[in-house]
Amino acid sequence: MHEFAFKNNELYCERMKVGDIAKRVPTPFYLYSYKTLIDHYRKIKAAFRPVNPLICFSVKSSSNIAVLRAMVKNGAGLDIVSGGELYRARLAGVNPKRVVYAGVGKRCDEITEAIKFGIFFFNVESEEELQEIQRVAKSLGKKVNVAIRINPDVIPKTHSYIATGKGETKFGLDFETVHKIFNSSWRYPNLNLNGLHVHVGSQILDAAPFQAAIHKILDFIKKYHIAVEYFNIGGGLGIMYSIEHPQTARSFAEKILPMLKRSKLKIILEPGRFISGNSGVLITRVLYNKLTPRKKFVIVDGAMNDLIRPSLYEAYHKIVPVAVDGNSSETSEKVDIVGPICESGDFLGKDRLLPHMESGALLAVMGAGAYGFTMSSNYNSRRRGAEVMVIGNKFYVVRKKETYRDLVRGESIPRILK
Ligand code: LLP
C-alpha cells in the first residue's frame, strides 16, 4: 500500500495534488510520501516484534537526508556502505550505535571515520579487510564490533545483477573461511567478532532463499560452536512493481521467526526497497509525441540518467498520467515512453497502453522510491532533478534541481590550454 492515489481523476500524494506541486517544481522530479515510508517501516517492525530486531534502513536505496531523518526520528538505524553514506547518516542525526557498515571495499579513511564515529557493526567481507580494520582500530586504541558476512551460496530468483548470495559473487565469505577466522580470533585483539551477516539479494519475492540461507548459517553456528551474539539477516524483501505477488512483511516474518527465535541471537535487519520503493515516484512531463512507421513514442523530460532501472535491469515501473481525462480509454494507444538521452536504451517504459498525452501533460513513474534518485547521474550533462517530500498537506523541496554551475563544480581548464 502507498499514499499515491487518484481522487476525481487527479493523482494525489497524501493530501497534496501532484499537479499542483508540478506547477511549483520543475520536472522531472522525485516525489516522496513521508507516510508511506513510515508505514512500511512500521509494518516490518511489527512483523518482527517477537525478536525485537534493530532495523537499519538501507541508505543506498534512498539517501536524501530528509528521508534518513524521517527514518531515524521514527526509531530506525541505518545500513551504510561508504564514507559518503556515513556523512549523510551523521547529518540525519543517527545514533552511532544504530549504524551498520557493509561493502566489499571499505577504504582506510572510511574505516577510520566509522570507528571514530563509534558505529555499531562493521559487516566484513574478506580476511584482508579484517586485518585492515584490526590495524586501524589498534592505531585508534579502540575495540570494534565485527560481523562476518557469509556467502551462503543460495540462488534467489531475481535479476542476476542483484542476486548477491550465490557462491560466485564477490560478496561475503564461504563457511570454511569463516570457520578459520573464528578459530584465529586471537589475531584480532581489537575486534569483537560478535556477529554473522548475510544478504542474499534484492527484490526477492518469497521466503525460500532467506530460509535456506538462515538455516545454513544457524547449522554452521551450532556445528562449530561459533560464539556470536548478533545475526544480521540483511535486506532484500521484494515489492510489487507490476504483477508480482510479493509476500507481506508478516508472512515473511512468520516463515523465518521460528528459526530466529530458536537461535536466541539478537537480530538485525537491513531493509531498503521494502520501505522506500513504493514511497516515491518520478514525475516527468511530455515533450513530444512521435509516430514512426513502426512505433509511437512519447518523449518525456525524464530519462535513464534520472531512473536507470528500466535500462539497466529491464525493470518494469508502472507509468500513469497525473491527470486522467474522462474519455481516456477511447484514446488509449500502445507507446514507448522514452527520454531525451542519445541511447536507444533510454526508455522508462515500453509498449504501454496510455491515453493520448499532449505535450505538457504529466506522467508519474511509480515505485521509483528505491534505487531511483540514488542511482541517477549527470549523463548527457543533464542536471539531476529536485527531490520533494510530502508530509500530509504540505510539500518540501528536500533537494533542489541542480544548476548548470553544479554540473561543472570542481572542474577546471589547465592553464596550458587557456
Ligand atoms: N543490505 C545489503 C548488504 C545490501 O547490499 C542491500 C542492497 C540491502 C541491504 C538492501 O536491499 P533491499 O532491501 O533494498 O533489497 N540497484 C538495485 C538493487 C541493488 C541492491 C543492492 N544491495 C535495484 O535497483 O533493484
Q: Give the CATH number of the domain where residue 181 resides.
A: 3.20.20.10
| pLDDT, position 302 | 98
Q: What is the DSSP letter of 256?
A: H
- Residue 252 CB: number of other CB atoms within 10 A? 24
Measured at the CA of 273, the angle between CA 88 and CA 397, to 5 degrees, comes to 50
The answer to whether position 418 is within a domain reads no
- 263 and 242 in a single domain? The answer is yes
Ligand 1 cavity residues, CB under 6 Å: 58, 61, 79, 102, 162, 164, 199, 202-203, 234-237, 270-274, 309, 313, 370-371, 375
Q: Which of 243, 269, 295 is the last residue of a domain?
A: 269
**Per-residue confidence in pLDDT tens, the chain, 418 aa:** 899 999 999 999 999 999 999 999 999 999 999 999 999 999 999 999 999 999 999 999 999 999 999 999 999 999 999 999 999 999 999 999 999 999 999 999 999 999 999 999 999 999 999 999 999 999 999 999 999 999 999 987 777 776 777 778 899 999 999 999 999 999 999 999 999 999 999 999 999 999 999 999 999 999 999 999 999 999 999 999 988 888 899 999 999 999 999 999 999 999 999 999 999 999 999 999 999 999 999 999 999 999 999 999 999 999 999 998 766 667 799 999 999 999 999 999 999 999 999 999 999 999 999 999 999 999 999 999 999 999 999 999 999 999 999 999 999 999 999 9
- 152 and 255 in a single domain? The answer is yes
The answer to whether position 87 is within a domain reads no
- 216 and 281 in a single domain? The answer is no
Give the Cα separation of 406 and 385 in Å (integer). 12
- 238 and 319 in a single domain? The answer is no
| pLDDT, position 328 | 65
| pLDDT, position 407 | 98
- 215 and 297 in a single domain? The answer is no
The answer to whether position 330 is within a domain reads yes
- 24 and 143 in a single domain? The answer is no
Q: Which atom from ligand 1 is nearest to the alpha carbon of 164?
A: 5
- 265 and 283 in a single domain? The answer is no
- Mutating to test ligand 1, I would choose from 48, 61, 233, 308 the residue with most ligand atoms within 8 A of its C-beta, which is 61
The answer to whether position 25 is within a domain reads yes
CATH code, domain with 288: 2.40.37.10
Rounded to the nearest angstrom, the distance between the alpha carbon of 176 and the centre of ligand 1 is 25
Rounded to the nearest angstrom, the distance between the alpha carbon of 201 and the centre of ligand 1 is 7
- 400 and 282 in a single domain? The answer is yes
The answer to whether position 362 is within a domain reads yes
Rounded to the nearest angstrom, the distance between the alpha carbon of 323 and the centre of ligand 1 is 33
The answer to whether position 68 is within a domain reads no
The DSSP-derived string for 201-217 is BSSB-SSHHHHHHHHHH
Give the Cα separation of 398 and 411 in Å (integer). 26
- 263 and 289 in a single domain? The answer is no
Q: Residue 68: helix, strand or coil by DSSP?
A: helix
The answer to whether position 80 is within a domain reads no
Q: Which of 212, 239, 269 is the last residue of a domain?
A: 269
Q: Which atom from ligand 1 is nearest to the alpha carbon of 159?
A: 25
The answer to whether position 371 is within a domain reads yes
Q: Which residues are catalytic?
A: 342
- Mutating to test ligand 1, I would choose from 100, 104, 270 the residue with most ligand atoms within 8 A of its C-beta, which is 270
Cβ distance 110 to 90 under 8 Å? no
Number of domains in the chain: 2
Give the Cα separation of 261 and 219 in Å (integer). 14
Q: Which of 269, 289, 316 is the last residue of a domain?
A: 269
Rounded to the nearest angstrom, the distance between the alpha carbon of 61 and the centre of ligand 1 is 7
pTM given for the model:
0.97
Q: Which atom from ligand 1 is nearest to the alpha carbon of 203?
A: 15
Rounded to the nearest angstrom, the distance between the alpha carbon of 271 and the centre of ligand 1 is 8
Give the Cα separation of 63 and 314 in Å (integer). 23
Rounded to the nearest angstrom, the distance between the alpha carbon of 276 and the centre of ligand 1 is 11
Cβ distance 232 to 260 under 8 Å? no
Give residue 10's domain range: 4-31+277-407
- 206 and 332 in a single domain? The answer is no
- Mutating to test ligand 1, I would choose from 160, 170, 239, 273 the residue with most ligand atoms within 8 A of its C-beta, which is 273
- 130 and 253 in a single domain? The answer is yes
- 192 and 119 in a single domain? The answer is yes
Nearest-CA residue for ligand 1 atom 8 is 235
| pLDDT, position 163 | 72
What is the CA 306 to chain-centroid distance, rounded?
Answer: 15
Nearest-CA residue for ligand 1 atom 9 is 235
Q: What burial letters (b/e) apply to 134-168, b meaning 16+ CB within 10 Å?
A: bebbeeeeeebbbbbbbbbbbebebeeebbbbbee
